């Protein structure tokens, strides 16, 4: 593997001579409607070698099934990938000692049995969904629906975008005399699935069975708004967790809050009015929470009918994105507001503080994220556009262009005021890179959260497939990119696991669940994070559905949290 730049020929690790074939020879349908489930852990065959320091538990979550056969003999089809019925996966990576290879056990569980049964009987999802189009069976089942109450238990709620291990603020806290912080305590005590709606689903950490429901209101009585970020942020040193709550109304209100990992207490750090928007993630620095209201603005009135997608307004390039800087340590609330040119984002990467370029006596905030020009990418995630065997996907592929591509982008918020200010300041876009790779699902070494980092890892959307088609490593200093890819193999988010004896930021491995579309099964891939060479695979005896996000809880090394 050689290092490549944006303009150089791609360097690809590839076992197939057919790597340049068009994406329609990249079968992926099984990844969008998997039937495979292992409720009891099974041992996976491992080829190559997974380093012992990667030992721990890797959780993955995301959509599983997307179709239900109804009692009336019709097929109910979920429209949008974000609405697929959630499934949770657990890989136990076991260090067997110096003389034995690392072992991997796998179990999984579909997490929406009650909801699927309701749809089987009624032909309706009953509740607001992200992108569900008009129910095709609705006219048939109008009468039937009135006979059944929508499911209200844990397995009746479709929550499965991100996962939190030992989430602070929920459940019983450790003893007051304990030196362990709840959010960073060793051992997996609790597991919660989250989404962009204000609700959490509690899962059994071993069996993955849905066992409870909670919400942000469980953390604080004022957090009653319906919207939040799937990606909360945790301080890597303290384990404290940060997020926002958005209350919709005539005046829409953001509440930015923090949850102490040591006490479980939730504090509302700032409350302010703002344009409502679909915000999947946020950022923290050592001293601040950074909430950017980018240009996925929402019309609250449109939420009464249709799907959440119907409420998201087209991106207006004349409307700036607004960045809110909230003090998270000293009780100063909202300290500064910045504006930048319009953009859309799913996933932030990292932010940190450094001496200001304008005035060294002040502080700049630097923020890295994956940037798109508009929200049009959301439409590419309808199943009709994702499943490569469908004619609609082929038609949509012909329309794909730069408008759907993303970049790794760096913003700078210069000269943070020394005291709270109502002035609107200007954020600057410093650089954008990797457009030919169209990165998404970014990750990094979690030890560098709130510190200046050098490396970003992401899946690629280069156009070889309808979804992901590789894993990349981007060097923010040199702007060089490395790539792992194999024809017909679709990787999920790459989770970084640090080598506890490593001396460099990229000393570790990447763990990704990959669908081999040609063979029709999945495997856990382990790559050397320094050069993306393959170290090993753990082969699953079925298909792991294309998921969203995961969480690795190491046997040794960094604490758990939301990164």
| HSE toward the beta carbon, residue 296, CA cutoff 13 A | 20
Instruction: Please give the DSSP secondary-structure letter assigned to residue 146.
Output: T
- CA–CA separation, 365 and 415 (whole Å): 8
Residues near 27 by Cβ (< 8 Å), separated by ≥ 6?
Answer: 388, 389, 488, 517, 518, 520
Quote the strand ranges of 97-195, DSSP E.
103-110, 162-165, 191-194
How far apart are the C-alpha atoms of 231 and 251, rounded to whole Å?
25
50: left (phi > 0), else alpha (psi -120 to 50), else beta?
A: beta
Neighbours of 61 (CB within 10 A): 29
The CA distance from 12 to 26, in Å, is: 17
Q: How many CB atoms lie within 10 A of CB 503?
A: 6
Spatial distance between the Cα atoms of 142 and 53, rounded to a whole number of angstroms: 55
**Dist CA 231 CA 441 (whole Å):** 12
DSSP state of 535: E
Strand boundaries in 38-122, DSSP class E: 42-43, 45-48, 56-63, 67-69, 75-77, 86-94, 103-110
Q: How far apart are CA 65 and CA 360, in angstroms?
A: 54
**CB contact at 8 A, 523 and 104:** no
For tokens 């923020």, name the residue. Answer: 367
Q: How far apart are CA 453 and CA 445, in angstroms?
A: 8
Distance CA 466, CA 404 (A): 12
334-340 and 424-426 as β-strands: parallel, antiparallel, unpaired?
parallel
The secondary element (H helix, E strand) that includes residue 118 is helix 113-122
Query: Is 347 part of any known ligand binding site?
Result: yes
The full DSSP string for 341-387 is: ---B-S-EEEEEEEE-SS-TTSEEEEEEEEEBSSGGGGGGGBHHHH-
The neighbouring-strand residues paired with 462 are none
549 labelled binding-site residue: yes
Q: Give the helix/strand (H/E) hosting 289.
A: strand 288-293
Q: Report angle CA 150, 246, 411 to the nearest 5 degrees.
A: 130
User: What are the backbone dihedrals phi and psi of residue 127, each rounded to the nearest 5 degrees, phi first?
Assistant: -115, 170
Binding residues for Fe cation: 231, 280, 347, 549
Binding residues: 231, 280, 347, 549
């Amino acid at each position: 593997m050689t290092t490549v730049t944006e303009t150089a020929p791609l360097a690809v690790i590839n076992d197939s001579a057919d790597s340049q074939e068009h994406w329609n020879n990249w079968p992926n349908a099984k990844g969008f409607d998997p039937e495979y489930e292992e409720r009891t852990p099974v041992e996976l065959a491992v080829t190559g070698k997974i380093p012992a320091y990667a030992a721990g538990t890797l959780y993955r979550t995301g959509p599983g099934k997307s179709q239900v056969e109804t009692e009336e003999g019709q097929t109910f089809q979920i429209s949008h990938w974000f609405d697929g019925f959630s499934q949770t996966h657990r890989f136990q990576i076991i260090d067997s000692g110096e003389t034995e290879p690392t072992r991997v056990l796998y179990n999984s569980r579909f997490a929406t049995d009650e909801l699927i049964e309701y749809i089987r009987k009624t032909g309706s999802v009953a509740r607001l969904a992200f992108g569900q189009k008009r129910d095709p069976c609705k006219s048939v089942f109008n009468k039937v629906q009135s006979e059944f109450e929508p499911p209200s238990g844990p397995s009746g709620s479709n929550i499965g975008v991100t996962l939190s291990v030992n989430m602070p603020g929920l459940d019983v806290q450790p003893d007051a005399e304990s030196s362990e912080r709840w959010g960073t305590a060793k051992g997996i005590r609790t597991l919660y699935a989250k989404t962009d709606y204000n609700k959490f689903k509690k899962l059994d950490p071993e069996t993955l069975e849905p066992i409870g429901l909670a919400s942000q209101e469980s953390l604080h009585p004022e957090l009653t708004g319906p919207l939040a970020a799937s990606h909360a942020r945790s301080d890597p040193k303290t384990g404290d967790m940060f997020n926002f709550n958005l209350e919709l109304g005539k005046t829409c209100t953001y509440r930015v809050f923090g949850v102490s990992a040591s006490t479980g207490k939730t504090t509302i750090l700032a409350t302010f009015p703002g344009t409502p928007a679909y915000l999947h993630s946020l950022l923290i620095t050592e001293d601040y929470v950074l909430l950017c209201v980018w240009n996925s603005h929402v019309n609250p009135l449109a939420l009464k009918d249709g799907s959440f997608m119907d409420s998201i307004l087209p991106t207006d390039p004349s409307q700036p994105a607004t960045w809110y800087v909230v003090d998270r340590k000293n009780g100063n609330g909202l300290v500064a507001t910045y504006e930048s040119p319009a953009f859309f984002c799913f996933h932030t990467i990292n932010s940190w503080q450094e001496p200001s370029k304008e005035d060294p006596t002040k502080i700049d905030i630097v923020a890295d994220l994956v940037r798109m020009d508009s929200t049009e990418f959301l439409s590419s995630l309808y199943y009709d556009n994702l499943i490569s065997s469908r004619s609609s996907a082929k038609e949509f592929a012909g329309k794909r262009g730069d408008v759907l591509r993303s970049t790794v982008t760096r913003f700078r918020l210069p000269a943070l005021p020394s005291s709270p200010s109502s002035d609107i300041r200007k954020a600057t876009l410093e650089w954008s890179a990797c457009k030919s790779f169209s990165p998404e699902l970014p990750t990094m070494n979690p030890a560098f959260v709130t510190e200046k980092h050098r490396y970003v890892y992401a899946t690629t959307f280069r156009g070889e497939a309808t979804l992901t088609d590789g894993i990349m490593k981007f060097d923010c200093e040199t702007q060089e990119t490395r790539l792992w890819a194999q024809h017909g193999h679709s990787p999920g988010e790459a989770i970084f696991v640090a080598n506890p004896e490593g001396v460099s930021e990229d000393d570790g491995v990447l763990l990704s669940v990959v669908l081999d579309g040609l063979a029709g099964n999945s495997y856990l891939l382990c790559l050397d994070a320094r050069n993306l060479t393959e170290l090993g695979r753990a082969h699953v005896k079925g298909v792991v559905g294309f998921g969203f996000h995961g969480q690795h809880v190491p046997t040794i090394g960094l604490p758990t949290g939301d990164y």
